């Protein structure tokens, strides 16, 4: 496992995205081949911890994944959660709100998707879109979305107080890396379906999104739900960091199998 402390956004400190290297592979001397080999026992460990969490059915884990377009959220879920019991893991993506969702407060649709006892829920995009895309595209006035930093911190405090561990991961890629990934989507037949022309419009707003992420991570990294900035230019290293963070979080939760029932005298015929 990697030392995850360098990737923590310490509560009360600036996120400092410009000072964090998305190409970093700090703490690992090998390359892609060695990294993929290192990941295998980690995913097995994650699966074992998830089984214990599901069996115990007293605690729950919420994983929040955020990134710029092409940042690797889907790939992270596929790679890191390989081998887990799908019965105990759910993935929710939050796109443009429906009219019904817009008729409620912005956290209404989010709260319905938080994990149940024993479960792991992964948010592929999340409530943070309401201080990111809403800010960048001017979908709400500043005096409204700025209040949401406080709402979000308090919402996550509620979840933690009620038994949910919240792990928040920002997958940090460079603008050059995004360009390569968008070009790959155009050039590779099995990736063209993922290309959306609107991604190019968002790419023009890279600087605005960077500022929005900088403030969001700084304002909402708390003691109860801190942010981690994961170097994500190297996909294999991204997976090692994410797996390390999740394993440490689950080990701190320390889920236990329930007591074994008294089976003396039971015969299977």
Q: What is the pLDDT of residues 21-63, one digit of tens each?
A: 999 998 888 899 999 999 999 999 999 999 999 999 999 999 9
Q: What is the pLDDT of residue 110?
A: 97
Provide the number of structural domains found in the chain.
1
Domain contains 192: yes
Which backbone phi and psi does 2 adopt, to 5 degrees?
Answer: -90, 160
Q: What is the pLDDT of residue 16?
A: 96
Per-residue pLDDT at 78 exceeds 90: yes
Domain contains 269: no
Confidence of residue 106 (pLDDT cuts 50, 70, 90): very high
Beta strands in the chain (DSSP E): 8-9, 60-67, 89-93, 120-124, 164-172, 227-231
Domain contains 260: no
Per-residue pLDDT at 263 exceeds 80: no
Domain contains 99: yes
Domain contains 156: yes
Neighbours of 76 (CB within 10 A): 25
Separation of alpha carbons 207 and 186, rounded Å: 23
Confidence of residue 128 (pLDDT cuts 50, 70, 90): very high
pTM of the entire predicted model: 0.94
**Quick one: average pLDDT of 92-107?**
94
Q: What CATH code is carried by the domain that includes residue 100?
A: 3.40.50.300
Domain contains 264: no
- 189-230 pLDDT per residue, tens: 887 887 888 889 899 999 999 999 999 999 999 999 999 999
Neighbours of 172 (CB within 10 A): 26
Per-residue pLDDT at 262 exceeds 90: no
Q: What is the pLDDT of residue 253?
A: 97
Q: What is the pLDDT of residue 199?
A: 82
Q: What is the pLDDT of residue 194?
A: 79
Confidence of residue 113 (pLDDT cuts 50, 70, 90): very high
Confidence of residue 172 (pLDDT cuts 50, 70, 90): very high
CB neighbour burial string for 118-131, b if at least 16 within 10 angstroms, e if fewer: bbbbbbbbbbbbbb
* Choice among 40-44, 80-84, 117-121, 175-179 with the minimum mean pLDDT: 80-84
Q: What is the pLDDT of residue 193?
A: 82
**Percentage, residues of the chain above pLDDT 90:** 84
Average model confidence (pLDDT) for the chain? 94
Q: Which domain holds residue 190?
A: 5-251
Neighbours of 66 (CB within 10 A): 21
Q: What is the pLDDT of residue 231?
A: 98
Q: What is the pLDDT of residue 3?
A: 93
Domain contains 256: no
Domain contains 132: yes
Cα distance between the two ends of the chain = 45
Per-residue pLDDT at 265 exceeds 80: no
Q: What is the pLDDT of residue 267?
A: 82
Per-residue pLDDT at 1 exceeds 80: yes
């Amino acid at each position: 496992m990697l030392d995850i402390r360098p990737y923590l956004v310490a509560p009360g400190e600036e996120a400092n995205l410009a000072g964090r290297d998305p190409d970093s592979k700090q703490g690992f001397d090998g390359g892609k081949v060695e990294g993929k080999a290192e990941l295998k026992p980690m995913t097995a460990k994650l699966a074992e911890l998830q089984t214990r969490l599901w069996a115990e059915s007293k605690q729950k884990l919420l994983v929040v994944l955020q990134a710029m377009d092409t940042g690797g959220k889907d790939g992270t879920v596929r790679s890191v959660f390989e081998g887990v019991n799908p019965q105990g893991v759910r993935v929710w993506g939050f796109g443009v709100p429906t009219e019904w969702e817009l008729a409620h407060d912005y956290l209404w649709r989010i709260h319905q998707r938080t994990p149940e006892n024993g479960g792991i829920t992964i948010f592929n995009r999340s409530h943070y879109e309401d201080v990111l895309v809403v800010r960048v595209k001017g979908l709400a006035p500043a005096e409204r979305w700025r209040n949401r930093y406080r709402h979000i911190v308090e919402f996550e405090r509620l979840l933690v107080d009620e038994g949910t561990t919240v792990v928040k991961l920002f997958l940090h890629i460079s603008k050059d890396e995004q360009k390569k990934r968008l070009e790959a989507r155009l050039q590779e037949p099995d990736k063209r379906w993922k290309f959306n022309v609107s991604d190019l419009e968002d790419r023009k707003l890279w600087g605005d999104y960077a500022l929005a992420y900088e403030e969001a991570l700084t304002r909402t990294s708390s003691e109860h739900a801190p942010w981690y900035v994961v170097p994500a230019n190297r996909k294999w290293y991204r997976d090692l960091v994410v797996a390390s963070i999740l394993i440490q979080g689950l080990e701190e939760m320390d889920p236990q199998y329930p007591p074994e029932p008294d089976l003396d005298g039971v015969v299977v015929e």
